[in-house]
Structure 1
Amino acid sequence: MNSKESKSQINPLGLDAKREKAGSDTYRKYNYQYHWAFCRMLDEHSEGNEYAIFIEEHEDVTLANSLNGSSALFEFNQIKEIGSKSTISSLTKDKEKTVSPLKKLASSVCNKKFSGRVSSVNFVSTGGFSFDLHKEGLSFEVIKVGQLTEGEKAKILSCISEIDKTNMLESKMAFIIPELPEKGFDLAVEGKISQLINKRVPGCTYNSSSIYSCIIRDLQRKGENSFDYHDWDDSLKKKAVTSKQLDEIIDQHVKRKPDENLTTELLYILKDEYNLNSLNRRNIVSAFDRYYTAKLSNRDSELHKVSEEIKKLIKEKIDNFSTAAELDKYVFSQATDLLAGYFPSREDFSGAFLYELVALK
């Protein structure tokens, strides 16, 4: 016996079996649901899509494909963290006190004012499925109703016929086996965060654990909010995590220095053409770095408009001024409300202006 083993002590609480383990199982199931939603976000983010994701909003996880409430389409996902395979019978059979899983799913999306804006409805199960196609040796990650045999499809449609009177789910419902593992899903999510950042901002310095903590806490907090919101902007703010929000959090936790040539020219301009004390000069350099990182990683349409406006003003008047500082003042004086309102400080504006100036080709 080594010294480490000799110092170990018996856990008095581990000598008897627990009377109740349901609490831990229930927490894991809900925790899995939040992490599945996080992965769904990261998949959309990796494709450069705009989105808002809601927990416990008509279904376990609801995804809007736009931040515009008047045009957004909605994807609904019921998440089951179970060990057994789901069959046509288990999906369509009512129990003594509960309706079948598919009736529950149909009730969430059918006969609603938003039903015409439903893009897809998914039953997601960690246990997988046992359909006739599996007996033929086929294995799909996503199984649409149309891929089932006529007999299986008929049972499903019959099960939900009293709820889905327009038959919308025949073309919009699918069964999904999630990639997210049942155990260690927090580490899997951190891994996907790293993949996303390395894809978007290769070579940068970042802390995936910090990004993970910020988002998962917000998902949990908003998932616990049971209020309804008539106003779309209030709903986004208080119930959803959005693509814009994830962009902002990534920007806060990702550090990447600009190209050395850009930095050298920036420092030369600040030293020779701007009459600044050391603190103001340092603040502009920091603003330059932030703007540079945002330009690389941010898909915000407002940032794109700001960038185009600054570049347009620079190109129009660059030959009329002898120093960058003079051109800086002119561009700022000509700024539209969009440009003037985008930057929290004058130094932030100068950092952005100088980036667009030295990066101009």
Structure 2
Amino acid sequence: MTDNPLAEAQRESAGASTSGKYSFQVHWALCAIIDKHSQKKEYAVFVEHHEDVVIANSLEVDAAQFEFYQVKNTGKAYTSGALTKRNKGANSTLKSSVLGKLLSSCIDTQYEDRITTIGLVSSSGFSLGIEKDLKLDVIKIGDIDSAELALLTKAIHKELNILLMPEHLHFIVPEIQLKNQEDYVVSRFAYLVNSLFPGSYSNPVEIYRAVIDEMGRLSRLEYDYKDWERLIEKKSLTSTSVQGVITLHSNYSGIDGLKSEFSDLVDELGWDSRRKRILKRDFGRIALTRAGFMSALDIEITNSFKLSYDKIDESTFSDDVSHISALEQQAMNDGLLAKVIDRDRLLLEVIYCLLKAN
């Protein structure tokens, strides 16, 4: 088990307080997922964990860096005064400001040096003094005029004793709007699938429902996890899991040739009809997944099997059955069973490597 860099006590774990806030927050997170996925970038997304949305850029703990986002569904554009206003709490204490709450999730934490973006997302935008009066959808600290920045810095210094505003703090006006959020995200999923598998048939509504339901389930988990692997497994929506949903609800003619070759090959192996049916289905999912999105794990597995494959001289075998048997045994000798689920998956990886090589 690997130590979890995000294993600090959370500021709060009650989650979004209203359905409207939660709906906008989740739909914005889905758009962020689609953007990452369309760039074929590995990611893990956490909802209601330290912040409204946290995105890791890797599933590997040593490589992971984080983006922290607070997502607000508001009726008015945020001014510097609204961002730093502190309401009275119990016993005459002052509550955190909107900006102070976001920064307190990021500053003076064990993971502070791993944060690449601190983002405040507002459905109604921001009314801040901007250099050259530009209209920006992402406002960075360097874009804010000196007088406005001085007001923000003074208020945050008083609240959190921060001398300078973080340079990676962004104020973000989202493309997604409050109206028709579901339709917007469904259409984005449709475009995503078409970019991964041009000309494919997919059911973007089912993809949307499966992903948003899983995100809702994950957001209700309030436990902390000390080790990274359990955090990824229990609390995150990953590029691998999203790709799995996409492939489950998509058909792509671009892998028909590979599937046909597999079908011809298994007919020679003497399997019973039930095993053929199951392995043909599983092989199709492997081929479809890797045609659209090769995760870091996929790359590692295919490279490992390719190295093992290259150790066997194909010319010494008179038929495919004996060749595959030798490849399977070599993969076992190389310890590759530990990289996959079971012996059937090892065999599928052996055949996948064989067909891709030819």
Q: TM class, shorter-chain normalised?
A: 0.7 to 0.9
Aligned residue among 33, 57, 64 for 2:56: 64
Amino acid corresponding to residue 285 of structure 1 in structure 2: K
Is 1:126 matched with 2:123?
Answer: yes
Question: Where do 1:270-309 residues align within 5 Å?
Answer: 270-271=266-267, 273-309=268-304
Could you tell me which amino acid in structure 1 is paired with residue 209 of structure 2? Answer: S
d(CA) in 2 for partners of 1:305, 1:253: 25
Which residue number corresponds to residue 232 of structure 2?
Answer: 236
The answer to whether the 8 A contact 2:138-2:173 is kept is yes
Alignment equivalent of 1:150, drawn from 133, 146, 162: 146
Aligned length: 334
Q: 1:107 maps to which residue?
A: 104
Residue number in structure 2 paired with 1:96: 88
The verdict on how the C-alpha distance between 1:250 and 1:345 changes in structure 2, with shifts beyond 3 A counting, is: farther
Q: Contact 1:313–1:331 at 8 Å: present in 2 too? A: yes
Give the aligned residue type for 1:253: H
Q: Which amino acid aligns with 1:142?
A: V
| Counterpart pick for 1:252 among 244, 248, 251 | 248
Task: Provide structure 2 residue ranges, at least 5 long, that are not aligned to the other structure.
Answer: 1-16, 90-94
Conserved 8 A contact 1:287-1:352: no
Distance (whole Å) between structure 1 residues aligned to residue 192 and residue 288 of structure 2 = 15
The 1:257–1:137 alpha-carbon spacing in structure 2 relative to 1, beyond 3 Å, is: same
Kindly provide the amino acid, as one letter, of the partner of residue 83 in structure 1.
Answer: G
* 1:92–1:155 CA contact under 8 A, matched in 2: no
C-alpha change, 1:205 and 1:166, in structure 2 (3 Å) is: same
- Specify the SS of the correspondent of 1:327: helix
SS in 1 for 2:70: strand
Query: d(CA) in 2 for partners of 1:179 and 1:85?
Result: 15
CA distance in 2, matches of 1:68, 1:355: 25
* Residue matched to 1:141: 137
Q: Deviation of residue 165 (structure 1)?
A: 4.3
TM-score, normalised with respect to structure 1? 0.83
Give identity over the alignment, percent: 29
Could you tell me whether the CA contact under 8 Å between 1:110 and 1:164 is conserved in 2? Answer: no
Provide the residue aligned with 2:324 in structure 1: 328
SS at match of 1:56: strand
Q: How far off is 1:176 after superposition?
A: 0.5
Q: Over residues 107-129 of structure 1, what are the superposed CA-to-partner deviations in whole Å (9 max), with x where a residue is unaligned?
A: 22222222222212111111111
Contact 2:100 2:160 (8 Å CA) reproduced: no
Worse-matched range after superposition: 148-157 or 102-111: 102-111
Q: Is the 8 A contact 1:88 1:152 kept in 2?
A: yes
Q: Deviation of residue 95 (structure 1)?
A: 2.7
SS of corresponding position for 1:174: strand
Please list the CA deviations of residues 218-274 of structure 1 after superposition, one character each: whole Å capped at 9, or x if unmatched. 211221222222222222222221122212222322222455554554444444x33
Q: Deviations over 1:178-207 (max 9, x none)?
A: 111111111211111111111111222222
Q: 1:283 to 1:146 in 2, by over 3 A?
A: same
Question: How far is 1:351 from its partner?
Answer: 4.2
Within the candidate set 200, 204, 219, 2:200 is matched to: 204
Q: Relative CO higher for 1 or 2, CA cutoff 8 Å, sep ≥ 6?
A: 2
Question: Structure 2 matches for 1:20-39, cutoff 5 A?
Answer: 26-39=18-31
Give the residue type in structure 1 aligned to 2:228: W
Paired letter, 1:305: E
With over 3 angstroms needed to count, the CA separation of the structure-2 counterparts of 1:232 and 1:329, relative to structure 1, is same
Query: CA offsets, 1:30-88, max 9 Å, x none?
Result: 11111111111111111122221111222211112222233422211111111211111
Cα deviation for residue 170 of structure 1 reads 3.1
Alignment gaps of 5+ in structure 1 = 1-24
Task: Give the AA of the match of 2:59.
Answer: L
Cα distance between partner residues in 2 of 1:158 and 1:182: 33
Deviation digits for residues 255-312 of structure 1 (CA, Å, limit 9, x no counterpart): 22455554554444444x3334444443443333222212212322332233234444
User: Using a 3 Å threshold, how does the CA distance of structure 1 residues 267 and 52 change in structure 2: closer, same or farther?
Assistant: closer
TM-score between both structures, scaled by the size of structure 2: 0.84
